[in-house]
Amino acid sequence: MQFPVFDLAAFEASEGEARQALARTLDTILGETGFLVLRGHGVPEALTEAVWDAAGAFFALPPEVKAKSAPPRPGAPYGWLGPNVEALAASKGEDTPPDLKESFNGGPQAVPDGMTDPEAVASVYQPTPWPDLPGFRPAWQAYYAAMEDLANRVMVAFAAALNLPEDYFVPLIDAPISALRALQYPATIGQPLDKQQRAGAHTDYGSLTILMPQPHSRGLEVMTGGDWVEVPAEPGAFVINIGDLMARWTADRWVSTLHRVVAKPDQPARRSLAFFHQPNWAAEIVPLDGSDAYPPVLSGPYLMEKFRATGR
Ligand SMILES: O=C(O)CCC(=O)C(=O)O
Ligand SMILES: [Fe+2]
């Protein structure tokens, strides 16, 4: 299969019929594959390179140093998660050995004025435990801000693809509770355990994921048309996919596609940056087609329920 590609700059520059045609293409891709390679995103390469290098420097630190930025209590959402702690397949009820990875996770950069919901304050609005590594925090925050911006632009294209007013999502995503995750998959030495992957098969939870896989790296696969299909890691492009919340929001017009990062014997290390976009804590998610396919849920509590289900 030819992996789907969407050029955001071309969409943004288009008008009239041409714009409608590109919106229809996007609708078809998200209905069939739920994943695409995003070109024309305009994110400066220097921002990506800076956070990429910062993440590399962090993961190269000794574990006892990284542990200083571990989540301050079990279940706290941000900070360093070391090897052997997460098995994403558990979110699909599969019992597997832990994923062969470690990660650093960061949340929203500020708490919105008037945000007092105790569940939100105790979870998504917890501070990020920054590592004591020069340059890490500014590089991370600049990239995080660029991802928020890009997500807003992608959501405009999503609105067009759903035949909604193009600014439809704006009030629902103006205080998003997104998370950025740097992932480090160490080189595999010898054979992984039975059913062990770098990231076990799962679907993402939120509205939209913006992934920067290591250029030319292998192993990210999506389940589409009954087969595992490899996602190309094209230098300078992002991979985007929708998550369970967006599938629900569209009453399953779009698919939240199962994906994994496979572990094979004797692979080189691999790194990626995954930005999980999530609407405002209190955004009400009601089927956009006016149907009653799903009862309304709130974005934040919905995400917390997903975390609880996997014991995070
Ligand atoms: O590292 C990757 O390429 C994908 C990781 C992923 O799917 C996830 O963490 O949700
Ligand atoms: Fe994922």
Nearest one of 98, 103, 101 to 71, comparing CA atoms: 103
Instruction: Decide the pairing of beta strands 238-241 and 35-39.
Output: antiparallel
137, part of any domain? yes
Beta-sheet strand order (sheet of 259-261): 199-202, 259-261, 220-224, 227-230
Cβ atoms of 4 and 36 within 8 Å: the answer is yes
79, part of any domain? yes
**Number of domain units in the chain:** 1
Residue burial 282-292, b: 16+ Cβ < 10 Å; e: rest: ebebbbbeeee
Mean pLDDT of 169-173: 98
175, part of any domain? yes
Higher pLDDT, 151 or 190: 151
pLDDT digits (tens, 9 = 90+) for 215-246: 999 999 999 999 999 999 999 999 999 999 99
188, part of any domain? yes
227 forms beta bridges with 224
**Segments forming the whole domain that contains residue 120:** 5-226+239-309
Ligand 1 contact, 213 CB (< 6 A):
yes
CA dist 152 and 144 (Å) reads 13
Report CA(212)–ligand 1 centroid distance (Å). 9
CA dist 283 and 169 (Å) reads 10
119, part of any domain? yes
Write down the pTM of the prediction: 0.97
In the predicted model, is pLDDT for residue 310 greater than 80?
no
232, part of any domain? no
CA dist 103 and 137 (Å) reads 15
Mean pLDDT of 115-142: 96
Q: Find the DSSP H helices in the chain.
A: 8-13, 16-32, 45-59, 63-66, 118-121, 136-161, 244-249, 299-309
SS3 271: strand
Ligand nearest to the CA of 242: 2
102, part of any domain? yes
Instruction: Please report, for the domain that includes residue 282, its CATH number.
Output: 2.60.120.330
User: Which residues lie near ion ligand 2 (Cβ < 5 Å)?
Assistant: 204
234, part of any domain? no
